[in-house]
Amino acid sequence: MTGDLTSITAGAGDHSLEELIQRIRVLKKDMNALILAHYYTVPEIQQVADIVGDSLALARAAENNDAAVIVFAGVYFMAETAKILNPDKQVLMPDTYAGCPLADSCPAEEFMKFKQQYPGAIVVTYINSTADIKALSDITCTSSNAEQIIRQIPEGQQIIFGPDRNLGSYISRKLGRNMILWQGYCYVHDAFSERYILKACQEYPGAELIAHPECREEVLRHAAFTGSTKALLDYTVSSSADQFIVATEPGILYEMRKRSPQKKFIPAPKDPENPFSVCTQMKQNTLEKLYQCMLNRKPEINIDETLRLASLDSIRKMLAMTPV
């Protein structure tokens, strides 16, 4: 993956990439729009975005801005969160079919039954969840503030954590705190296995393994550093190491290489036949779709007001518990 625009043609439709970028910039000004993009989107989207960040940074950016329109290049729950925080703004998304399978693996009806088994428990849910799940939760969290939030819950208080079991058990192990876990996982991160990760470590003995907490324990136990996409990125800048094996979605490598061009970044292997673990949903955001959604002001994210208000509380609580 490189930052060279001329090397990227997928999704360009009838327009050249330079032309598309120019048109997007003009539209952005005319519409007073803010383009937010996650690190896992393709490089050309990251290049045209106003802010590229992890889930927490993007939620904060969605909350604090003067734009009239938010254009969200990420997955559905991210744009939905932006709309929950901004009912009066138009929130657009290049492709609303870009859902997060982890979020979709936790249906509200089943989660409600799960929750009913532990009536005294506090429910902390990962932001990678639907608005229905957030409405059933006490506090939302992301991978960058999950630990900080759990630390603020009194010892002895029972906690339900969902939907990501790997993030939940990572925090449990780190804090020595038992939590009741919903058994969801991200197919991208769960696909990394100890066997192939150790092979990569042998192949690059000078490299540090860094991993996202959505990876399994068997992978995390070998990592020199574990953190959210932004924490991983910051670590690669501050670490004295000059080579990293990166166990997360490889979209982040674009920004890592940009920030530390002298360092080497090796995407962690999934298995020999299928070397990179790619989030196909994030990659559904193309520059052409971004342009078209701004031009046509659709697809637009809308949410029922009762559901919005019910889910807003848990997001607001997260933001209050993790001040900048």
User: Is 93 a binder of ligand SF4 (CB under 6 A)?
Assistant: no
Q: CB-wise, 52 or 100, nearer to ligand SF4?
A: 100
Q: CB-wise, 36 or 100, nearer to ligand SF4?
A: 100
Residue 252 phi, psi (nearest 5):
-65, -20
Residue in 44, 46, 54, 81 binding ligand 13P, rule: CB under 6 A = 54
SS3 per residue for the chain: CCCCHHHCCCCCCCCCHHHHHHHHHHHHHHHCEEEEEECCCCHHHHHHCCEEECHHHHHHHHHCCCCCEEEEECCHHHHHHHHHHCCCCEEECCCCCCCCHHHHCCCHHHHHHHHHCCCCCEEEEECCCCHHHHHCCCEEECCCCHHHHHHCCCCCCCEEEECEHHHHHHHHHHHCCCCEECCECCHHHHCCCHHHHHHHHHHCCCCEEEECCCCCHHHHCCCCEECCHHHHHHHHHHCCCCEEEEECCHHHHHHHHHHCCCCEEEECCCECCECCCCCCCHHHCCHHHHHHHHHHCCCECCCCHHHHHHHHHHHHHHHHHCCC
Determine the interface stretch with ligand 13P among 88-96, 142-150, 217-225, 309-317 (rule: CB under 6 A): 142-150
What's the burial of 211, exposed, middle or buried (CB within 10 Å: 0-12/13-18/19+)? buried
Q: How far is the CB of 164 from ligand SF4 (least distance, A)?
A: 7
Residue in 5, 59, 69, 75 binding ligand SF4, rule: CB under 6 A = 75
Q: How far is the CB of 119 from ligand SF4 (least distance, A)?
A: 29
Determine the interface stretch with ligand SF4 among 62-70, 98-106, 152-160, 222-230 (rule: CB under 6 A): 98-106
Q: How far is the CB of 214 from ligand 13P (least distance, A)?
A: 6
User: Is 281 a binder of ligand SF4 (CB under 6 A)?
Assistant: yes
Q: Which does 101 bind (CB under 5 to 8 A by kind): ligand SF4, ligand 13P, none?
A: ligand SF4
User: Is 101 a binder of ligand SF4 (CB under 6 A)?
Assistant: yes
Residue in 46, 228, 284, 314 binding ligand 13P, rule: CB under 6 A = 228
In the shown chain, the binding pattern of residues 176 to 215 toward ligand 13P, with x for contact by CB under 6 A and - for none, equals: ----------x-------------------------x-x-
Q: CB-wise, 54 or 80, nearer to ligand 13P?
A: 54
User: Is 142 a binder of ligand 13P (CB under 6 A)?
Assistant: yes
Residues that bind ligand SF4 (CB under 6 A): 40, 75, 100-102, 128, 186-188, 249, 279, 281-282
Residues that bind ligand 13P (CB under 6 A): 54-55, 100, 128, 142-144, 186, 212, 214, 228-229
